Amino acid sequence: AWITLCCVSNEVGGDLISNARWSGVRIADVLAEVGVHNDADAVLSTSEDGWTCGTPLAALTDDRNALLAVAMNGEPLTPEHGFPVRMVVPGLYGYVSATKWVVDLEVTRFSDFSAFWTDRGWSQDGPVKTQSRIDVPRAGADLAAGDVAIGGIAWAQHTGIAKVEVRVDDGEWADATLGADPSIDTWVQWSHVWSATGGEHDISVRATDTSGYTQTSALADVVPDGATGWHTINVDVSST
């Protein structure tokens, strides 16, 4: 399954995000085989190095491809990516879902344990927030007047991106063109052509997901449950 993973520490415009094709066993199938108590609401996973992670049970038993993954991009996992087996859960930040070197899964309740990062002030559930990023041009770029290609990525794992908009300075929002995406669990590339005029300009991007939610402009830190805000860059356009 093609799945985009994002770190909760990813700041607005950050690069702590990646896309890959993961192969493995659906966690829902494993849990169905062993049976789950009716009052359970979480799975506590433990890594070979003792790291712990609490994941909402609902995210492991619904229709998403939550996996015990053994391969990435058609190749066996490398040690740094979690060999021999790791968890991959679309739509959740890694600190509540991406346990590497998994040695144990315990079906339990959130009230009965504290995991590594939630014990340090991070939120319990960790859903990935709808976000977008400008990749070209780079911040601070010197550009020539005329048509300028603006592009980047947007993501709303397990929800999907419906629309991406671009704004220059305080102008109107303009719809960007969306590229193809393998599934709602991956990022989507977007592009827009801007007729650039001379001077310094701010370029902003925002995304709307398929639930109808549009990114907020309010800037929030990554703690306790992920950053928010519009990614904005400044460029200088030559008038000659």
Would you kindly state where each structural domain of the chain is located, as residue ranges? 2-120, 131-238
pTM, 2 dp: 0.93
Banded model confidence at residue 240, pLDDT cuts 50, 70, 90? low
Among 87, 116, 89, smallest CA distance to 101 is for 87
- According to DSSP, residue 217 is labeled S
Strand order in the sheet with 177-178: 131-136, 146-155, 188-196, 177-178
- pLDDT tens-place string over residues 71-110: 999 999 999 999 999 999 999 999 999 999 999 999 999 9
What CATH architecture applies to the domain 2-120? Alpha-Beta Complex (3.90)
The CATH code for residues 131-238 is: 2.60.40.650
Predicted confidence band of residue 215 (pLDDT cuts 50, 70, 90) = very high
Provide the greatest CA pair distance for the chain: 70
Q: Sorting pLDDT into bands at 50, 70 and 90, what band is 181? A: confident
Q: What is the pLDDT of residues 112-165, one digit of tens each?
A: 999 999 889 899 999 999 999 999 999 999 999 999 999 999 999 999 999 999
Tell me if 202 sits within 8 A of 190, measured CB to CB: no
Cα separation, 9 vs 88, whole angstroms? 17
Report whether 224 contacts 122 (CB < 8 A). Answer: yes
Q: Average pLDDT of 206-232? A: 97
Same topology, domains 2-120 and 131-238? Answer is no
Using alpha carbons only, give the angle 92, 98, 104 rounded to the nearest 5 degrees. Answer: 125
For the record, the structure tokens of 24 come out as 């493995």
